[in-house]
Structure 1
């Protein structure tokens, strides 16, 4: 939550539902069309009505960088976290003007600056397309199943959004294939930076404080959506309420949680614990060491890589937390008992059969192909451009219904934007990341493995990365545009070494993907539908799907917790920053805090915690009170929330929020933005 995990070129694992008992207390990342109003009313004596939900949904924003946000003024003003826009700030920074380090305040709209690759999206419609998708692959298995399913999804997405310039359609699988929903988004492809505090204000406490509480972080920022060069009119926005939270009050978090694995089977959890997490932990740790060593060589390298390091350290901490959770006997026993309960409730139901065994067989295949899937995808921005250009050129030659997911007509506009938007590339950093990924491939696959030989030939990882990065021209957006517009003919005619390298790897990557789809994805689609049926039969509709980076709402309350016999308070104050500061990184005071020490209202609530159920991707989500007003932005979870990927514990899991009370003080006193203050007040 403190930061979304960077991909570094490695594919993520597919998810599948296994079924858990109905949610209790404040557990659940609920879809808007499945909000448990009666459950909330029973707990709090009040629940939002449909008008409240509709109003909030219309103001909720998804940022394509992997975060959430909300409209908070009629002029397209967007509230999110500073860490959600840190990459934008880094892209806008130079050696002479480091806006990531010093912060950014647009005194007038003419100087608001465009964020490369960013897009803001608002859900306008959710349609159930389960029957259409399931009918498309009925009676199919293996590769034929995934081909038929993907073709139908591509058809539905294209038909749902004929105006690709302003809308985006996305079919999402819920409950492991039990349901399919078509989400329609109004998209805004011109998103500009408005206000952000200096980096140290957001990252105060650094990695030691990440996923911990008490916290003292100004992790807030404002963007603005534009269209045709003008701010977007957003009459349906949330009211800004700069007040302190009240202990025990009900809160709602509205956002787009990235992914959870609460509904995995025991065999999937075993694979995660025994294979995926240990591998990830080892290679992330090594990359962190390589980055720190390189950054120590010069202030300029430190500036250029700090955003990458921050993201990596967050990902590493997530990996460590999940590893601990899946090695906790009490926690894993609870997960096993839940699966056993569903099996018992489903026993004798011929229509359901034994989908758990089907999942076991698919996971067994995944174990055999995992290393090849993971390590035949080198890392680095320049290689990322190359492989995207190569696959896009090949797929665009095909009819829409026959393309790979991610390259259909509905997906291409965002892919094109990400490839063509101008942003800085640092060759030394790209070379470091690429050589690291290639060295890990050789280590895990073995030097005699055919895939390792395909990746490296007779080169060392370091020599190959150096040659490809030094020789490519893909850092130039003009070159990327020529290749994009020139299509497959331009790609094949290109002498760019990175393009040629991506072309060399493409057949093997495609073959691995086809095998994975046929022997893992397809069986899980069938088993997932059966498991969903079992789940609904056992527990009715009082269940929620795993997170899928689609719009969700959770409810909770402002409340601390007890840690090793000690009560953890529900809030901190701005004044606590000065008490916590040591003068040494990462507990050195932000420059503006020191400069305005005498003027800052030290009693203002800074960060606070709630029992809301969230996960990565919820970063930037508005925290909303009963009236529907914004009282903060979620930016993290406590250390216990890392196990929330697999299960929720209401006595310990907490959402960490930056208070609107503190953000208002920052806007007025610490990083003054008078025009923004007036806008938030509706003037």
Structure 2
């Protein structure tokens, strides 16, 4: 069996092994290596840029417009005044934090009509990449004599710290160094992080989340999934903590926005920070995901979602508290369902088994290879078998036990409890209490104990009934004896007696702890949290760590062997939250026999869904309907239609949310926000016939900002481009909002029209 962390570990390290030649549009490529690996192919597909135009350290390039938004999404600069465009669901947490029942920005949307109205977001960051560098030689120095994986890793960590420190000395930059090719190579990213990022605009959820959970991971899609922020800087245009005196950041490059839209087979490029993929797992690992891990996690999350959905519908206050949490839980719940469908459709397990047979045949054909790789597959099997019971335990601990908020809260007090018992210095206890006071205040702002009590009973019942008793934490024995396995009765006791069930209770507990009273260890929620943590530490972590160390070496060796076997192939690395390029074309697809989806959607589809009454996720604002009925699309519509979204064959994953979709000329045409359900297995295997990324059309974003929200002052900041008859991009003079065209542009259009008529 394989655990969730091991999947992440694989993704961060076991990289760039092609099962076959990289299929059309497959891959998440390193910008630093585009010239040697990808430029020719990209230009063959229609790209008119050079690798230097995309990534350069000597001049401004597309990379200077790309940011890691909060470390969990991607954003792009779309004005010379620091405007940042990302997804609505990426900015959803910030919108939710600013929302109240009286000012419900989630429902109504938010638009700052001047700079003073833009809302600060403590803790939110925007990180730019200054440069990349291959530092393999420096990081690997001294590892030759390491006798264990732990010893090797210790050397690498010391080298990373040294190299990063030297690279950033005397600057305000940071260094991020990560492994590639499963620890055979290392690359360093020098970064610049801005800490003053303010909310500028977000459409109402009926636009930004149109389709909701009903349409999540689906195509056709009609979601205006975007939000707008602004990056602020201090003196000298450099990062600074929030201050009213900060000025809008002036980026080295911002993306011009194309009004020409997309056509089938158009070249597309996605630039962003994809999180995790696992393209190169063995068949045994994929089988474990498909048969054990995904089904368990899907069941747990579905149970929790059903409870929260009912409570959120019954109370606006609960809805606002849990809106962001619910969306986060639902996102991967549905993704895992689609992933399993895609694994089955792509025959992923069988395909990987074929690769392993090819590898075994290749190894057996040469004595030297047999000596180096002969035991590899047997060792893989031995280690995976050692994980029996570990995967299911970790899944239920992470998803069921820690899916209960009161357990997660109580678990955070473990260190304080130890400090009180050990009579740590009072200043240390005071500092810990202060941190926990802030953490608890944030926690209770978005917490509803009655809802969590229902989740407690339901999820722990699943854990109790679906996992072998020999894999249970000790607290479950008490539930079995005292409550006859009835977790509803257990929940009644915990929530009536635990200090962690209320903010007042936690405040008193912290005050007692600060005074040296050992009161935490007997709290019923803390007793349960400790029991779960103890079980993990004693029964899960040792085996898990040992297997991880073994697999680290095995996969490094396996990767080396596969590269030897496939020397004519270009290898791309699995995603590991570092800056990547994916490229493809605008392209329809056929999800099932007899069905073919076109590559774009329009506002007409929104109205059709709204009229169907099929789901409450299809409610729409009256203003949007009014604009549709009047066909009041300004310069953003095409032939009486308002484009909304489109699909292309770019290889994307989580973290690519908010990534710009860029055309052959380097212009923004859309913002990536999802994948199609049939293509969610692309984290494990890429199927070119099924994998599509979904993007909101840039013209729909402009339409909503300008015509719907009346925030044309934001559009005025942006650089819009159109195409002349030769197809070359022409930048408008700073145009007027609401679809008005500059005088220069009108004159150019008349001239082009005269030429066209003369030619006819």
Shorter-chain TM-score bucket reads: 0.7 to 0.9
Task: Please tell me whether the aligned partners of residues 105 and 671 of structure 1 are also in contact (alpha carbons under 8 angstroms).
Answer: yes
* Aligned partner (choices 597, 604, 618) of residue 656 of structure 2: 618
Match of 2:699, SS state, is helix
Give the distance between the partners of 1:214 and 1:358, measured in 2 at CA: 45
Deviations along 1:466-491, one digit per CA (max 9) or x if unpaired, are 74696239969x979x99xx9xx999
Are the counterparts in 2 of residues 29 and 544 from structure 1 also a CA contact under 8 Å? yes
Tell whether 2:65 aligns with 1:38.
no
Secondary structure of the residue aligned to 1:656 is strand
| Distance of aligned partners of 1:24 and 1:156 in 2 relative to their CA distance in 1, 3 Å threshold | same
- Take 2:66 and 2:517, find their aligned partners in 1: how far apart are those partners? 39
Shift of residue 265 of structure 1?
A: 0.7
Q: Does 1:641 align with 2:676?
A: no
- 1:224–1:537 Cα change, 3 Å: same
Counterpart of 1:332 in structure 2 is 349
In the alignment, does 2:102 pair up with 1:86?
no
Secondary structure in 2 matching 1:25: coil
Partners in 1 of 2:596 and 2:557 — Cα distance?
A: 44
- Are 1:49 and 2:51 matched, yes or no? yes
How far apart, CA to CA, are the structure 2 residues paired with 1:242 and 1:330? 39
State the secondary structure of the residue aligned to 1:140. Answer: coil
Q: Which residue of 1 aligns with 2:107?
A: 101
Q: Deviations over 1:224-264 (max 9, x none)?
A: 22333224523223323142223322110011222122100
Report what 1:363 is aligned to.
384
1:603 equivalent among 641, 665, 668: 641
Q: CA deviation at 1:664?
A: 0.8
Distance 1:361 1:270 in 2: 16
> Would you say the 8 A contact 2:65–2:251 is kept in 1?
no
The structure-2 alpha-carbon separation of the partners of 1:46 and 1:235, relative to structure 1 and needing over 3 Å to count, comes to: closer
CA distance change for structure 1 residues 479 and 173 in 2, over 3 Å: closer, same or farther?
farther
Gap change, CA 1:388 and 1:122, over 3 Å in 2? farther
**Equivalent in 549, 554, 558 of residue 522 of structure 1:** 549
Sort the Cα spacing of 1:648 and 1:440 in 2 relative to 1 into closer, same or farther, 3 A. same
What root-mean-square deviation, in Å, do the aligned CA atoms of Structure 1 and Structure 2 show?
3.9
Distance in 2 (CA, whole Å) between partners of 1:69 and 1:462 is 44
CA distance in 2, matches of 1:106, 1:365: 56
Indicate if the aligned counterparts of 1:20 and 1:342 stay in contact, CA closer than 8 A: no
Match of 1:276 among 293, 306, 323: 293
Q: 2:287, 2:349 within 8 Å by CA — same for their partners in 1?
A: no
Tell me the CA shift for residue 82 of structure 1.
0.5
Alignment match, 1:576: 605
Matches within 5 A, 1:153-302: 153=160, 167-226=173-232, 227-228=240-241, 229=243, 230-243=246-259, 244-302=261-319
1:650 aligns to what? 688
1:78-117 CA-partner distances (Å, limit 9, x unpaired): 1111111112222221111111111111112222223354
Alpha carbons 2:68, 2:126 under 8 Å: kept: yes
State the 1:645 CA deviation: 1.9
Q: Cα gap change, 1:594/1:505 in structure 2, threshold over 3 Å: closer, same or farther?
A: same
| Structure 1 alignment gaps of length 5 or more | 1-8, 396-414
Report 1:289-328 matches (<5 A). 289-328=306-345
Task: Provide closer, same or farther for how the CA distance between residues 607 and 376 of structure 1 changes in structure 2, counting only shifts above 3 A.
Answer: closer
Between the two proteins, the alignment pairs up a number of residues equal to 653
Please list the CA deviations of residues 603-647 of structure 1 after superposition, one character each: whole Å capped at 9, or x if unmatched: 232111111111222111000112222111011112221121222
Structure 2 distance, partners of 1:590, 1:145, is 59
Q: Residue 251 of structure 1: SS of its match in structure 2?
A: strand
Please name the residue that 1:119 is paired with.
125
Deviates more, 1:445-454 or 1:580-589: 445-454
Secondary structure in 2 matching 1:525: helix
Structure 2: how far apart are the matches of 1:501 and 1:163?
48
| 1:161 CA displacement | 5.5
Q: Which runs of 5+ in 2 are unaligned?
A: 233-239, 420-434, 634-639, 720-733, 736-760
Point out the more displaced range, 429-438 or 659-668: 429-438
Q: Deviations over 1:48-93 (max 9, x none)?
A: 3223323122221112362211122233221111111112222221
Who is 1:661 aligned against? 699
Offset at 1:543? 0.9
- Please tell me whether the aligned partners of residues 404 and 452 of structure 2 are also in contact (alpha carbons under 8 angstroms): yes
| 1:640–1:39 Cα change, 3 Å | same
Q: Residue 404 of structure 1 aligns with which residue?
A: none
Contact residue 238 and residue 628 of structure 1 kept, 8 A: no
Q: Measure the CA separation in 2 of the matches of 1:70 and 1:492.
A: 50
Residue number in structure 2 paired with 1:557: 585
Contact 2:222 2:601 in 1 (8 A): yes
Who is 1:14 aligned against? 8
- State the match for 2:723 in structure 1: none
Q: Give 1:578 deviation, angstroms.
A: 1.8
Q: Which residue matches 2:621? A: 590
Determine the structure 1 residue equivalent to 2:403: 379
Q: Which has the larger Rg?
A: 2
What is the match of residue 757 of structure 2?
none
Structure 1 pair 492/258, CA: closer, same or farther in 2 (3 Å)?
farther
1: CA distance, partners of 2:162 / 2:269: 35
**Farther off after superposition, 323-332 or 633-642:** 323-332
Q: Which secondary structure state, in structure 1, belongs to the residue aligned with residue 601 of structure 2?
A: strand
**Is contact 1:258-1:549 (8 Å) kept?**
yes
| Per-residue CA distance 1:195-220 (angstroms, 9 max, x = gap) | 11110112222333222222211111
Provide the C-alpha distance between the structure 2 equivalents of 1:435 and 1:569, rounded to a whole number of angstroms. Answer: 45
Q: 8 Å contact 1:580–1:587 — kept in the other structure?
A: yes
1:56–1:517: structure 2 CA closer, same or farther, 3 Å change rule? farther
Which residue, 560, 574, 590 being the options, matches 1:533? 560
Q: In 2, distance between residues paired with 1:184 and 1:148?
A: 21
- TM-fit CA distance, 1:542: 0.4
TM-score (norm 1): 0.84
CA positional deviation for 1:126: 2.8
SS of structure 1 residue aligned to 2:690: coil
Deviation larger for 617-626 or 109-118: 109-118
* Rounded Cα–Cα distance in structure 2 between residues aligned with 1:491 and 1:58: 54
Alpha-carbon shift at residue 515 of structure 1 (Å): 1.5
Looking at structure 2, the residues matched to 575 and 89 of structure 1 have their Cα atoms a distance apart, in angstroms, of 28
User: Residues 452-463 of structure 1: matches in 2 within 5 Å?
Assistant: 452-453=474-475, 461=487
Q: Which moved more, 1:73-82 or 1:291-300?
A: 291-300
- Kept in 2, the 8 Å contact 1:240–1:631? The answer is no
Say if 1:385 and 1:474, in contact at 8 Å, map to a contact too: no
Judge which range, 182-191 or 96-105, deviates more. Answer: 182-191
Q: Distance in 1 between matches of 2:574 and 2:457?
A: 35
- For residue 707 of structure 2, give the secondary structure of its aligned residue in structure 1: helix
Farther-moved stretch of structure 1 (257-266 vs 464-473) = 464-473
CA displacement at 1:376 relative to structure 2? 3.7
